């Protein structure tokens, strides 16, 4: 098995080695990103709904303690935002600007390393195609040198080896594209929740600052 794999690498030339390096890099990024998203998951024992319920009920200290015990982006946004809500002299627009800044940093953290996967998924097929073009050039040069004594078996063997790089490039790009798409969907879903939490909290805070308005549960 290992001899066949090594022979495959030798048959594809340096382009195959480049694609192998890209696949190793992609695997490392996928494992790193998967672990990162798992570590930033919401804890089931302290649901964010409970944190928001305490916050809407005016129990900001309890909500802050619950949020500070988690590493999820939503919890970190709330833990950062709640202390600002205690300062009634701060304008809501200023609080919103600070919340937006924090949310932007959290989204940048969630999106980290995804660009690498996107680049690998885009470049791998092109590198594979480039290797095929180079292989075809070599094959046709050999055919020209042979003149009338061209052996079809030799020509087909050269073309077969040249096509290996295209297949290898697609083999790298297809799974990387699918995994990148899944990661992107996870990040986008978290971004929607961050925006929703921020809008909910600031709307409730605006209502609480209006005397005479009855506060009703938004959710």
pLDDT score recorded for residue 14: 84
Compute the CA torsion angle 100, 105, 110, 112 (nearest 10 deg). 140
pLDDT score recorded for residue 1: 43
pLDDT score recorded for residue 24: 96
End-to-end CA distance of the chain: 59
pLDDT score recorded for residue 172: 95
How many secondary structure helices (H) and strands (E) does the chain include? 8, 0
What are the structure tokens assigned to 190, written together?
A: 């978290």
Average per-residue pLDDT for the chain? 82
pLDDT score recorded for residue 86: 82
pLDDT beneath 70: ranges in the chain: 1-12, 43-46, 143-158, 211-219
């Amino acid at each position: 098995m290992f001899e066949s794999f090594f022979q495959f690498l030798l048959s594809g030339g340096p382009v195959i080695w480049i694609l192998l390096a890209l696949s190793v890099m992609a695997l490392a990024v996928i494992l790193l990103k998967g672990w990162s998203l798992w570590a930033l998951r919401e804890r089931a024992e302290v649901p964010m709904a409970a944190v928001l319920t305490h916050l809407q009920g005016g129990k900001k200290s309890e909500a802050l303690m619950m949020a500070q015990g988690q590493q999820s982006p939503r919890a970190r946004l709330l833990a950062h935002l709640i202390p600002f809500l205690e300062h009634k002299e701060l304008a809501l627009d200023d609080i919103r600007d600070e919340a937006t800044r924090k949310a932007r940093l959290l989204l940048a953290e969630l999106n980290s390393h995804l660009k690498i996967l996107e680049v690998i998924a885009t470049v791998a097929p092109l590198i594979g195609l480039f290797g095929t073009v180079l292989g075809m050039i070599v094959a046709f040069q050999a055919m020209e040198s042979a003149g009338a004594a061209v052996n079809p078996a030799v020509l087909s063997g050269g073309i077969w080896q040249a096509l290996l790089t295209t297949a290898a490039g697609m083999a790298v790009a297809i799974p990387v594209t699918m995994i990148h798409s899944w990661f992107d969907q996870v990040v986008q879903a978290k971004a929607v929740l961050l925006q929703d939490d921020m809008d909910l909290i600031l709307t409730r805070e605006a209502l609480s600052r209006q005397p005479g308005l009855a506060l009703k549960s938004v959710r």
